[in-house]
Amino acid sequence: MENIILIGHGSPKKDANNIELAGRLLHTAIHPNCTNNCVKVAYLQFAEPEIADAIKECVHGGVKRIIIHPYFLSSGMHVTKDIPEIIKEAEEMYPDTEFIYTEPLGIHEKLVHVVMERIYAANGLPPQDIEKRSFEIISEELDFSDIPPEQLPIIKRVIHSTADFEFKNTLMFHPDAIKTGMDAIKSGRDILTDIEMVKTGINKKLLEKWGGKVICNIQNTEHRTQSTDNKTRAEMGIEKALKENSNIGIIAIGNAPTALLKVIEIFTPPTPPFSKGGTGGVFTDSPILVVGVPVGFVKALESKALLAAQKFPFITNLSRKGGTPVAVAIVNALLKMSEEEK
């Protein structure tokens, strides 16, 4: 069993002690569908819990491996001396526990992009101008001449959302994917997501102009716990929605490989997913676009590779990367493309 602890500096100003959100986002990204408190936060000073207390909680919870990440920008005295000394004391106190200490945030390409956005915002540029300049930078730094024009807005928006140019080479599109997605949007069909974070990020104003809505069943009262046959809540939510809603046009999966595998199972022939009376109970006369980009190390890449071999419309990426930002970027790109055509 493994826990991760994010270490913040801490401040006498209570509002500044807010790395809990970063901890929750990290937990969702690397442990989708996990209900355990396996990503914790602690502070070096001025705030609670202290590092030693967070370590103690992990050990008493039966954890045998603790990864400690200093949520600092540089390797100053706190990172190179103060925190390592606390870890050394913990190693002596808990000899049966393995401690791993990571590098701080440091200088990273993605942080540079964040700084650029802050600069543009401080100069009074409106959000649309910041986004426009960001897309210009992406076009300046990468050659897109080999990308089909219809795929370009989606690939660029994914790169913009992740600051990761690798997606240019890993994103895969079924030949009918973009048309299917845009047709679904323009027909007022709904978008089904695996988790609430994906639902939250989708541009509902653009979707509502066409009459569609975004739905997610993971918080449904019937799905608050895992099922007895080991189905995840995201998987059960997707399955239930597909059986009950005949107006789904896009399925966006950003975190749960199990949900994507369930969709593939439902949509697998002998009966196509877009025919009445399909094997999974998908009662619709029109094709459904599956955006499958779960992130992680367990079943994520495997589920996306399986999706890439299907005959129904899909958009995916063949790597371990993915997650909520990628799923949201793909759907929002389709929404903006539909709006521009309108």
- pLDDT of 95-129, one tens digit each? 999 999 998 887 666 677 677 777 766 766 666 67
Q: What pTM, to 2 d.p., does this model score?
A: 0.63
256 or 69: which leads in pLDDT:
69
Dist CA 133 CA 187 (whole Å): 32
251 DSSP β-pair partners: 192, 290
Catalytically annotated residue among 9, 27, 69, 160: 160
Dist CA 331 CA 342 (whole Å): 17
Dist CA 66 CA 261 (whole Å): 31
Which pLDDT score is estimated for 339? 93
Active site residue 174: no
- Scanning the structure block, which residue is given the tokens 């995840």? 232
CA 225-229-231 angle, to 5 degrees, is 55
Q: Kindly give the pairing relationship between strand 248-253 and strand 190-193.
A: parallel
Three-state SS at 327: helix
CB atoms within 10 A of CB 80: 12
Which pLDDT score is estimated for 22? 86
pLDDT digits (tens, 9 = 90+) for 249-274: 999 999 889 999 999 999 886 544 54
Residue 52 has pLDDT above 70, yes or no: yes
Sorted by where each starts, the structural domains of the chain and their CATH numbers stand as 2-101 (3.40.50.1400), 165-341 (3.40.50.10230)
Over residues 194-208, the mean pLDDT reads: 90
Nearest C-alpha neighbor of 191 from the set 167, 211, 166: 211
Task: Tell me the average pLDDT of the chain.
Answer: 86
Residue 120: φ, ψ to 5°: -60, -40
